[in-house]
Structure 1
Amino acid sequence: MKAVLFANTDWYLYNFRRALALALCRAGYDVLLISPPGPYGDKLRAMGLRWEPLPMERRSLNPLREMALLWHLVRLLRRERPMLVHGFTIKCAVYGSLAARLAGVPARVNAVAGMGYVFTSSQMKARLLRPVVRGLLRLALGGRGARLILQNADDVELFQRAGLVEPAHIRLIRGSGVDCGQFAEVSRTASSDGRLRVLLASRLLWDKGVAEYVAAIRQLRAQDRAIHALLAGTPDPGNPAAVPESTIRDWVDEGLVTWLGHVDDMVGLLGSVDVMVLPSYREGLPRTLVEAAACGLPLITTDVPGCREVVSDGIDGLLVPMGDSEALAEAIRRLQDNPEFARALGDAARMKARAQFDERIIIRRTLDVYAELCSPATASAEPAI
């Protein structure tokens, strides 16, 4: 049985879905990974996985280029003749599902981690694209051979209310999974200078709350708080909400943050900090919070969809209002002033990560969705559109 996994970057496939791909291979699937070209394709191949690059530009709005991409996908799927196509993110969900229907692929699974730029941005371009994307989603996600995987209960309610997909075809699977055993082995090092080490690790987008994080650190520094603020990640040039690199370097020059850039060794990084912060505006289910939780770090995040799936306020972390840098600064102060409370939050976060977000749980539930669609009773191909 063949499955195609389709993402908008090879980085995403490598970092978030390689464990799923390897599990599928062990379960007897013939797996093909597809994405735009990038350096992680060779890493996937080095693991024994089959990966193929696509002529896809994430920010493209050129109708001819987009039609060419769709036709490329149709020809690829007709050549490969998979039983199932699994798309990740909204663009891949739309294009992958449309191509699968045109190619007569029996089963389509789509995992949408949050609503993406088109639905979360207030920019004019996003508002103009919204009804178009909404219509394409209805077309792409429909049909008896389709399932939609969402990562949090808020998105489930949103998709149901918008009528984008049949409620019976929605499955809730919280995140892409984390190897909690690997992160539980983190060797935590003490601060050499007594400062509280706070980390924000994410793509450097405005809607990740990067500005609020920097503003909170500025407030804490004005109060002579001993804080070492770390920023890990890079701007995403394919996203209109990317923070300009010049702005990040200004913050570094001001002495507010230490910018680490892209970090491959998250285990080592999380072992070198005391608190994880993510003041995001909305998430599917944030992997960095789960990784930090698996390490036993106390978490501070916003009371928004996705983030509150990971953190219950005062139990395994702290929730603050979205866009409120003062509340974020107060939460950091609270953990700095009460190390025992911070330790208790971290211990509870570790237990929750193991019970709910371990990759073995996520992969097993994903395979259950595949089995729904690929059993002999349901594997007959739908008519091509």
Structure 2
Amino acid sequence: MAVNNTLKIIRITTGGMFQDILLKGQLRFLSLHFDMVSISDPDQHLVNVANRERVRTIGVEMSREISPGKDLVSIRTLRQVFRREKPDIIHVSTPKAGLLAMIAGKWTRVPVRMLTPTGFRFVGLTGLKRKIVFFFEKLPLSFATHIFPESQGVINTIRQYKMTRKPLMLIGSGSVNGVNLGIFSEGAIDAGKMAILKKEIDFDPSYNYLLFVGRIVKDKGITELVGTWKKIPGKNKLVVLGPFEKGDPVPGHIEDEIRNNPDIIHIDWTDDVHYFMALATLLVHPSYREGLPNVLLQAGAMGCPIICTAIEGNMDIVDDKINGLLFQPRDIGTLEKTLAFALANPATMQQYAGKLRQKIEYKFDQKLVLQALVRQYQEVAGK
């Protein structure tokens, strides 16, 4: 693949976490082909990106929520950066950065303004707030020159709500970064490290370990999961990996349950999520909305059986009763039935997990995703 370091691309997200965690390894790979620059809100994650990915970074303060005064300052700063840097392409993924960077990019006539929507908040809202959020999530599409949604599910949402008439295409099979099969593989697990982890959580092989990975907020469905898992017969423990967040918080009694129930193991953050996936009986993903959830790609790559909600994004990965099980969102009854079936039929779930691993190898291997991204950049830039 030809190297074209004269092509300057600026990758932009609201916070540095998206690039630090979800795009891990991507910018370093792309820098072998292009002149890459990273922009996000200045935080420790952006420092991590600079150190690990070996690309130049620029901190631009961006508020995650709508804040007219701060947003105008952010747009003005981005406009100044674009005028100075003169990028051939700006590529944005997160909603707020999409709004700010697309406006600034249009203003400064950046030739290629790529937008990769990864899901929409308005889908899980109601009333006036839904209308306001819908307006601001739709607006960046009008300023983008090229739109590459993260998944077919996101494309379906854009079409369903008539958010734009512009062409919509996937990069490869979708996904912002694929999954690193060198890390997310059963063969990559170190036995000694796994033994230490099991000791730390007082692992008991006579129990089933149900794993939830994600932000602890209402629209991730954790309220239904915490209210359901105790009803399932047998010896079960719930492992919750993720931080509590103030935006869209879970009810107080759910937070208390997660923090205080001795059969719930709560860990704010870990770099070793693949170890938890390796020891888990199954992963439960009860989210209300998704783009293309990395947690399902990662769990599938680890051979961890999955049950998840039948929503756009999830269904791009999991095919019901073929490589996993689906249940209806916000529905405790179907969650309980699906969870009970999965625990009662471990052999069937392992067969599903094997098929999902094959699908991920074929469609979502990080190497394939990054190669497709390089080709897409070259194509849109006409290089």
TM over 0.5: yes
Name 2:169's counterpart in structure 1.
170
Q: Aligned runs of 1:214-229 on 2, under 5 Å?
A: 214-220=226-232, 223=233, 225-229=234-238
Equivalent residue for 1:182? 183
1:200 aligns with 2:200: no
1:383 alignment counterpart: none
1:245 deviation in Å? 7.6
**Which consecutive residues of structure 2, in runs of 5 or more, have no partner in the other structure?**
1-6
Aligned pair 1:24/2:23, yes or no? no
Q: Which residue of 2 aligns with 1:147?
A: 146
Three-state SS of the structure 1 residue aligned to 2:354 is helix
Match of 2:44 in 1: 39
How far has the Cα of 1:293 moved from its partner?
Answer: 0.3
For residue 355 of structure 2, the aligned residue among 348, 354, 360 is 348
Q: Deviations over 1:159-189 (max 9, x none)?
A: 2344433443533542121102321134387
User: Which region of structure 1 is more displaced relative to structure 2, 40-49 or 246-255?
Assistant: 246-255
Q: Is the 8 A contact 1:180 1:353 kept in 2?
A: no
Counterpart Cα distance in 2 of 1:310 and 1:37: 33
Residue type of the partner of 1:338?
Answer: N
Out of 347, 368, 379, the position equivalent to 1:372 is 379
Scaled by the length of structure 1, what TM-score is found? Answer: 0.88
Q: CA deviation at 1:85?
A: 0.2
1:320 shift after superposition: 0.6
- Decide whether aligned partners of structure 1 residues 92 and 277 sit closer, same or farther in structure 2, where only a CA change above 3 A counts: same
Superposed CA offset, 1:3-38 (max 9, x none):
1111111111011123221121111x1111111122
Q: 1:236 to 1:38 in 2, by over 3 A?
A: farther
The answer for unaligned runs of 5 or more in structure 1 is 377-385
Matched, 1:137 2:137: no
Aligned counterparts of 1:152 and 1:85: Cα–Cα separation in 2: 20
TM, length-normalised to structure 2 = 0.88
Alignment partner, residue 312 of structure 2? 305
Cα distance, 1:68–1:299 mapped onto 2, change above 3 Å: same
CA contact (8 A) 1:252 1:259 kept: yes
- The amino acid of 1:360's aligned partner reads K
Partner of 1:381: none
**Are 2:152 and 2:170, in contact at CA under 8 Å, matched by a contact in 1?**
no
| Aligned 8 A contact 1:197 1:275 in 2 | yes
Q: How does 1:31-70 map to 2 (within 5 A)?
A: 31-47=36-52, 48-59=54-65, 61-70=66-75
CA separation of 1:138 and 1:271: change in aligned 2, threshold 3 A: closer
What CA deviation, in whole Å up to 9, does each residue of 1:355-376 have, x standing for no partner?
A: 1111112212222321222115
Structure 2 residue 310 is the aligned partner of structure 1 residue 283: no
Instruction: Determine whether 1:242 maps to 2:249.
Output: yes
| Separation (CA, whole Å) in 2 of partners of 1:58 and 1:90 | 8
Q: Contact conserved, 2:118 with 2:149, CA < 8 A, in 1?
A: yes
Find out whether 1:14 has 2:20 as its counterpart.
Answer: yes
Secondary structure of the corresponding residue to residue 293 of structure 1: helix
Write the letter of the residue equivalent to 2:148.
I
Give identity over the alignment, percent.
20
More off after superposition, 172-181 vs 308-317: 172-181
Q: Distance in 2 between matches of 1:363 and 1:21?
A: 10
Residue pair 1:186, 1:268 contacting (<8 A) in 2 also = no
Are the counterparts in 1 of residues 223 and 254 from structure 2 also a CA contact under 8 Å? no
TM superposition shift of 1:125: 2.6
Amino acid at match of 1:291: Q
Instruction: Tell me the distance in 2 between the aligned counterparts of 1:167 and 1:214.
Output: 41
Offset of residue 313 of structure 1 = 0.9
Aligned residues of 2:285 and 2:308 also touching (Cα < 8 A): yes
